[in-house]
Amino acid sequence: MKEDHESIFVKNIQRGNGKEIITLSNEDARITYHCKRDYTTSFKNPEEKVRASYFCELVLDYDYPAKNIDIEVTVPRRTPEDRADIVVYEDDGSEYLVIECKRDGITDAEFKQAIEQAFGNANSLRAKFASVVAGITKTAFDVAGFKPSEREKNVISDIPKKYGKTPKYKFIKGEADKELKVVSREELIRALEKSHDTIWQGGKLAPTTAFDEVSKLLFCKLRDEKTTKKGEAYAFQIGTHESPEEIFDRINEIYQKAKKEDAEVFKEDIRLDPKVVYSVVEHLQGLAINKIDLDTKGVAFERFMEDFFKGKMGQFFTPRETITFCVEVLNPERSDLVIDPACGSGGFLLNTLDKVRKYAEQNYDGSESWEYWHKFAMNNLYGIEINDQIARVCKMNMIIHDDGHTNIISTDSLRNINEITKQHNVFRKNHFDILLTNPPFGADVKSTEKDYLGKYELGKGKQNQKTEILFIERCLDFLKPDGKMAIVLPDGILTNPSLQYVRNFLMENSQILAVVSLPQFAFTHFGAGVKSSLVFLRKKEDDEKLSNYPIFMAIAEHIGYDATGRKDQINDLNAILQEYRKFEKNSKAYKGD
């Protein structure tokens, strides 16, 4: 089987295969269900994987005898091609549960259609319960106890186990068979995408507003996972016979409490209809998001954000390959205070956290390892983002990576630095060991609009100045003497004769360690087409004088992706990093290729 080995579907199917309740044949192209009758069909359809997985759950987790389950059951009083995907029978042969299976990732409209299909089949067969399974989104109904048209009051938390009672709640913390499930990266991405599509409602909300609302509910989900006590039911789930209004009130209670404790994360209330919140809870309720390993979770959230914001707010996203290279070159350690004064969605900060975390996991055990990198996340990572909405995305990203979100502030990094310090006292001059940033390019700061322009050495006497030029000075302000910086700069700053004064300022205040030229397309995929380079600097000590010194120079033609954003197997940055390490050891003796 070629699917992600961590997928719930794959795990269930492997268990079923091992217990011989299903058999895969023809190199997994065919599946046989060993149930009321042996039933063989193609295993290539995505819906079949959902059905196979759920069949295995019914037998292995819900204790229904395989001999009481049938597949593709003809339904009387329905059209001949209308068949029930799975039917569970009672011991006396009467129909008990009818299940409709759909592929993962279907739309809300398709899910509603599947519910109608399940009800049609269940009512025709006089079954007591009906369930719709679309990947990891599942909804079950009490059919027998309600009018045929009811679709809300008869929702149940889960189907009963082996003909027993319907549980009030399906997910209870600490109970093995009722715990949330750790899912694969692809399953997490699909759950996030389904949640976004539900909220976006085909364009009723602006895409960025929809993302904001997804973030609010995701925040509630993560908080609920952490704060629910062992033995208690999770709040972020749909209980038996609960209305959308009841679900909304419970989720909103989590949100309002968090908002009081930390008003910086989200300033506005949840602005969604209870039915929309209810649908998102359906998509996310069974996932143990906090328990998914950080690499999987980080890449999933990054992919989700990237796909969503591409072409809309791409300037807030620096490609992972570039970020990783900059972090590796500067090699931050646990004791370093790290800042990104144009942090966007938090790529540089999170990659730095990943590096420290991996070091901790390789060198320490258990709680010692966790404390090592967790304290770093909480106390050593700082970011400024001018766009309030993107600052919230960054905070959400930090929360998903296990926190540090309170050190992300939303303000203009170029404003008077003492005003920034008043907002958060760690953001002050000469304070940070490492700075990594991809500042905004091309915008003009005008003296008529910003009173701070004349306070910059690079802005004195000017009517206007480019943001990226002022950012150079501000970044050096933030760094301690001997602190190091990686910054993305347009090539014009390095080559344009009229900008010699900027280069002079750099040379007077810092030692240039390295310049790595990136290809023209490096940022086009992310909404910017300016030819750029990565510049690495060390801020000079007070009164430090430098004689002539070598600077490491390199050109990267391949950077792990092409102009369209597709993966490129070649990434020159890896080889450049190795060369830079040699240069670092002995810059005077270094002879580059």
The reply to whether 275 and 245 lie within a common domain is: yes
Distances (CA, A) of 503 to 464, 472, 544: 18, 10, 18
Q: For 339-387, where are the alpha helices, taking DSSP H only?
A: 347-363, 366-379
**Residue at 591 is within a domain:** no
pLDDT for position 426: 94
Helices 8-18 + 46-60 axis angle, to 10: 60
The reply to whether 244 and 332 lie within a common domain is: no
The reply to whether 149 and 201 lie within a common domain is: no
pLDDT for position 4: 43
DSSP type of residue 590: -
Query: What are φ and ψ of residue 433, in 5° steps?
Result: -80, -40
pLDDT in tens, 75-102: 987 666 679 999 999 999 999 999 999 9
How many Å separate Cα 399 from the centre of its chain? 10
Distances (CA, A) of 140 to 131, 133, 155, 167, 239: 4, 9, 6, 11, 11
398 or 118: which carries more pLDDT confidence? Answer: 118
The reply to whether 121 and 12 lie within a common domain is: yes
Number of domains in the chain: 3
pLDDT for position 307: 64
Query: Would you call 536 helix, strand, or coil by DSSP?
Result: strand
Q: For 262-405, where are the alpha helices, taking DSSP H only?
A: 274-284, 294-309, 320-330, 347-363, 366-379, 388-400
pLDDT in tens, 411-438: 999 999 999 999 999 999 999 999 999 9
pLDDT for position 232: 97
DSSP type of residue 67: G
Confidence of residue 396 (pLDDT cuts 50, 70, 90): confident
462-484 average pLDDT score: 95
The reply to whether 135 and 34 lie within a common domain is: yes
Its domain, for residue 244, covers 185-291
Percent of the chain with pLDDT over 70: 95
Tokens of 202: 């085909």
For 150, residues 6+ apart whose C-beta sits below 8 A from its C-beta are none
pLDDT for position 23: 96
pLDDT for position 1: 36
| pTM confidence score | 0.79
pLDDT in tens, 353-379: 999 999 999 999 988 998 999 899 999
The reply to whether 162 and 193 lie within a common domain is: no
Out of 167, 196, 211, pick the residue that ends a domain.
Answer: 167
**Residue at 94 is within a domain:** yes
pLDDT for position 205: 82
Q: Which of 230, 211, 217 is nearest to 171 (CA)?
A: 230
Whose tokens are 């996972």? That residue is: 225
The reply to whether 208 and 63 lie within a common domain is: no
Overall residue count recorded for the chain in this entry? 593
For 372, residues 6+ apart whose C-beta sits below 8 A from its C-beta are 334, 356, 360, 364
Q: Ranked by mean pLDDT, which of 75-79, 440-444, 454-458 comes out on top?
A: 454-458
The reply to whether 68 and 123 lie within a common domain is: yes
Query: Would you call 497 helix, strand, or coil by DSSP?
Result: helix
Q: Give the CA radius of gyration of the chain.
A: 28
pLDDT for position 3: 40
**Residue at 346 is within a domain:** no
CA end-to-end span of the chain? 44
pLDDT for position 5: 38
Mean pLDDT of the chain: 90
Contact 512, 485 (CB under 8 A): no
pLDDT for position 324: 93
For 213, residues 6+ apart whose C-beta sits below 8 A from its C-beta are 199, 205, 270, 271, 272
**Residue at 124 is within a domain:** yes
pLDDT at 114 > cutoff 70: yes
pLDDT in tens, 136-192: 899 999 999 899 899 999 999 999 999 999 999 999 999 988 999 998 888 888 898
pLDDT for position 447: 87
Query: Would you call 31 helix, strand, or coil by DSSP?
Result: strand
**Residue at 313 is within a domain:** no
pLDDT for position 2: 38
**Residue at 566 is within a domain:** yes
pLDDT at 316 > cutoff 80: no
The reply to whether 47 and 192 lie within a common domain is: no
Percent of the chain with pLDDT over 90: 65
The reply to whether 161 and 201 lie within a common domain is: no
Tokens of 416: 């008077």
pLDDT in tens, 504-534: 999 999 999 999 999 988 877 555 678 899 9
**Residue at 382 is within a domain:** no
**Residue at 393 is within a domain:** no
pLDDT at 248 > cutoff 80: yes
pLDDT for position 310: 57
202 or 447: which carries more pLDDT confidence? Answer: 447
The CATH number of residue 466's host domain is 3.40.50.150
The reply to whether 566 and 531 lie within a common domain is: yes
The reply to whether 210 and 120 lie within a common domain is: no
